[in-house]
Structures are given as structure tokens and as C-alpha cells.
Structure 1
Amino acid sequence: MKERDTYDTPAGPLVIAPIHHATFVMEWSGETIYCDPVGDPARFADFAAPTLIILTHHHGDHLELETLGAVIGEDTQIIAPRIVYDQLPEDMVVRTTLMANGETTEWHGITIRAVAMYNTTPDRQKYHEKGVGNGYLFDFSGTVVYLASDTEPTQEMDQLGKIDIAFFPMNLPYTMTPDQVLTCIEKTAPRYVYPFHYRFPFDKPGKEPSDLTALMPKGSNTEIVERDWY
């Protein structure tokens, strides 16, 4: 059984289950949302077929067409940016909503906004260019989850509004140092933060969630949720 965390929302519990690296599942009000599902489909054996699949960008640790084909259900819908949409087979395209940075959609009572994700450090900008991939804000009846995806601190983070739960990546050279994640926390002030995407290769330890916890100011209103993603 995958580890699950449960958070109260005005419309019932939101369950979050880390799966691996950048992949996780959210369950809320009868909906099952897979975020960047990759790897062995057996990882999802504990969950219902997804009613929604969220795809952030095209890199192989976020997008695997074989995995998508294995986990997709009869009624599954998909949300994706253009760079992913253009790689999907026709049977997936017809069930996909295309979203660009800044766009918003409503889906089964959930407001979803696509947010820019990109590198800002000059020698890292080649990894994630602005306008290519999406992070996402999910509003579950007033409880807001921010999936930052592969990014560094950006000016767009200053305008996101209230955030309850955030997922921030933490590995070099592709995303952020723990100090940069701390900057993101200062910009967005979430109640809970999941450091994820913190190893690549997956079997080579780098900065761990505990490194971020150690940086947090005493008395901070943000709690670091340390989970084993590998």
C-alpha cells in the first residue's frame, strides 16, 4: 500500500500519495488524478483508474506513452501543454485539454490553472525554457495545491495567491538547490511543502528532503513533508 497523506478541504478529504520521483496521485470527491505517471504500471495497483491525468512537460521522467496507455481508463481525461499534446497518439489527443501558461479550466468542480515553469539560471535555461511546460494550481473548493514541476524561483510565483500544499523539485543541474526551494517557499507561503524530484539518476542520492527541513527558519508556518520518493 502506497503511503497516503490526508488533508481536509471544504468539500471533503484530499488524499495525496507520492509514487516516485515526480509522480503522485490525488484523490478527492470521487476523482482520481494521476500527475506525470511514468514507470511500471504496477505502481498504481492500489488506485482506481484515473479520472484525470495531468502532464507537465515532455521529458522522459514526466512523460511515458507506454505507461499512459497502460493506466488510462475508459473515462480518463488528460490535461497537457502543447509540447506533450503534439506527441500523444490520436486516441489520447481526443480526450486531452490543451493548456498554455496562464490559462484556466474547470474540471468536475476543480479549478485548474497552468503556471509557467522554467529555469532562470543562465547555464540551466537549456533544460526548461519558459512557455514550454506547465506547472499547475488546483483549487479543491478553496484548498489550493501547487505542482511547480521542473522550475527555479520565478516572478510568476509572486502572483499565485493563497497556496496550501506545494510540490517543489530539488535536484541539480535540472531544477533547484534547497536554498532556491526556500526562496519559492518565501514567495508562495504554503502551509505544507513536498520536496520531490530530488534524485537523478534515481539510485544516486543527492540533496534529500531533510536538507530542506534543516534550512527552515524557526517558527515557520510552512511544514516540510518528508517522504521517500525512491
Structure 2
Amino acid sequence: MKKLMLFSCLSLSLLACKQEKKEDKAPQEISAAVAGKEETKTMQDSIIVMPVEHASFAMQLNDKVFYVDPVGGAEKYSELPQPDLIFVTDIHGDHMSAETLNALTEQDSTLQIVCPQAVKEQLPEHLQSRLQVMNNDEEKTWWGVNVKAIPMYNLREEAKDFHVKGRGNGYLLSANDKKVYISGDTEDIPEMRNLKDIDLAFVCMNLPYTMPVDAAADAVLDFKPKKVYPYHYRGKDGMSDVDHFKNIVTTNNPAIEVEILDWY
């Protein structure tokens, strides 16, 4: 089981969480910058990212913990803080796992799952009361965090059946003047390119299922997030070249920070 290490990115007041093997390093406490009397304010102004694997991660925003696409069994999440809300983007097995969702919700009788209608239709009856359905472009608010469901779909003709428009959701989370975009499985769609003032973006790139590295980089250069995490980059023929993605982005716009976390 991987352990967690937190570090701060001061320029954006973002916190990211690296993962290391248990035998290498024990978890570290959040640095002194968030300790003492300034802790509450700093945490509210920060984003903590905890990658799990591929499309699955946890994030703390506005003092609440959100899980995104938890799959792989509850053990993968045993060292993470308990979630306040779970987001599911799509019906595929690397995004939706009824077994994992059931195990996570067993620990909290009030825990809700935000998902598109297509996910609701595929989850078992005992989870139905947990579900908060959001359709593309719909907005809801939890604990001061505004959530907007962003369309996610394929553009290339040969890939259109993988993700049809209207079935899945990306998500845009906004709180305390911070905006976080989670792409889900998508290509470089207009809805992504037209985003504004994004502080942190999770952008997928894997063939044949989502988009090529060059398309992902071109879209990022269009909507100009302050920071971007490539994620969901394991494809049919191995890993996408995220170093190439980083090189394209930072060469053409050095103001965009690209950080490659430990997803695999």
C-alpha cells in the first residue's frame, strides 16, 4: 500500500500529495505553514491532492474531502482521510466500481455519490439512495463548493463510441476563488477549451480512449490553467508520453505549471 507525503506549492496555495511505498517513507504531517492559528485559513485557501491510481484520487477543498472515481477496492483508500462526497464521472470500470462504492459508503451512513444518470442506472438498488444525479451543465453546491457538470466526450470519428456526449461528466469545482477542473474521459472539446480562470486542471490523455498528448497540450494552452496534472494516461499500448506533454505546454507558455504525480 502506498504511503502519502504532502508538500506545498506556494505560488497557487495548492498542496499536492505524493505517494511512496510503505517501506520507503512514513506519512509526513502537513508543514508548519498550515499549523497553529493560521491552519484553518490556510487549509480553506489550499487544495490538497492525493493521487491513488489512473483516474482515482482524493482532494481536499474548503476543508472537505472529495473522492473522484474510486475503484480497486476499499483497501486502496484506507490511508486516506474519509470522504465527505464522492464523484463518479462515467460507467467504465476504471471510473465506476459498485463494490468499492459500497465499501466506502458502509463507513458513513450520510455519504453521498455525485454521478451522471448513466452511472445511476448501472449501480445496484442498495446504493440508489446515496446518489445525487447531475446532468451536463447542471450546477449544485455542497458546503460552499459550487460543482458544475462539464460535458466529456470523444471527437475523433474512430473513438466516438467510447464516450458519447451527455453520458458522462467532467466536473468544475469552485470555492474560495479557486477553480478545479476534472476532465474525466474526454477529448479536446470546446467546453474544455472555453474554460476560464482555472487554478488546477486534471487532464486525461490516453489512446485510443481519450485524446492524444498533442491534443491535450493544445487544449491546455487554450484554456491556460495555472497548474495542470496529467492523469488517466495509461492506454491500450502503455503509458502516454506525459513528459512530452509537459514540454509542449511549458515551452509554449512557461506560466502554466505542469506537475507529474505518481499515478502508477
TM normalised by structure 1 equals 0.92
Q: Which of these residues, 170, 191, 197, is aligned with residue 232 of structure 2? A: 197
State how far apart, in whole Å, the 2-side matches of 1:168 and 1:4 are.
21
Residue 8 of structure 1 pairs with residue 10 of structure 2: no
Instruction: Report the counterpart of residue 155 of structure 2 in structure 1.
Output: 120
SS at match of 1:94: helix
- The 3-state SS of whatever aligns with 2:52 is strand
Give the match for residue 56 of structure 1: 89
Question: Which residue does the alignment assign to 1:89?
Answer: 124
In the other structure, the counterpart of 1:172 is: 207
Alignment root-mean-square deviation, CA: 1.8
SS in 2 for 1:62: coil
Partner of 1:160 in structure 2? 195
Letter in structure 2 aligned against 1:76: L
Specify the alignment match of 1:65 in structure 2.
98
Question: How far does residue 209 in structure 1 lie from its aligned partner after superposition?
Answer: 2.1
The structure with more radius of gyration: 2
Deviations 1:121-157 (A, max 9, x none): 1111011101110000000221100001111111112
Aligned sequence identity (%): 35
SS at match of 1:86: helix
Once the two structures are TM-superposed, the CA of residue 211 in structure 1 deviates from its matched residue by: 2.0
Q: Does 1:227 align with 2:261?
A: yes
Counterpart CA distance in 2 for 1:32 and 1:106 is: 14
Task: Provide the residue aligned with 1:30 in structure 2.
Answer: 63
Task: Find the counterpart in structure 2 of residue 111 from structure 1.
Answer: 146
Residues 1:45 and 2:45 are matched in the alignment: no
Report the secondary structure of 2:123's partner residue: coil
Residues 219 and 189 of structure 1, relative CA distance in 2, 3 Å threshold: closer
Contact 1:117 1:149 in 2 (8 A): yes
| Cα deviation code 1:154-207 (max 9, x no counterpart) | 111243221110011111000111101112202211011111111136xx6322
Q: For the residues of structure 1 that align with 2:170 and 2:4, how far apart are their CA atoms?
A: 24
How far off is 1:210 after superposition?
1.3
Report whether the alignment pairs 1:187 with 2:189.
no
Gaps of 5+ in 2: 15-40
Q: Distance in 2 between matches of 1:3 and 1:125?
A: 38
1:102 maps onto 2:137 in alignment = yes
**Runs of 5+ consecutive residues of structure 1 not aligned to the other structure:** none
Deviates more, 1:40-49 or 1:52-61: 40-49
**2:147 match: secondary structure:** strand
Query: What is the TM-score with the length of structure 2 in the denominator?
Result: 0.81
Cα gap change, 1:5 to 1:101, in 2 (>3 Å): farther
Distance in 1 separating the partners of 2:94 and 2:4: 20
Letter in 2 for 1:210: D
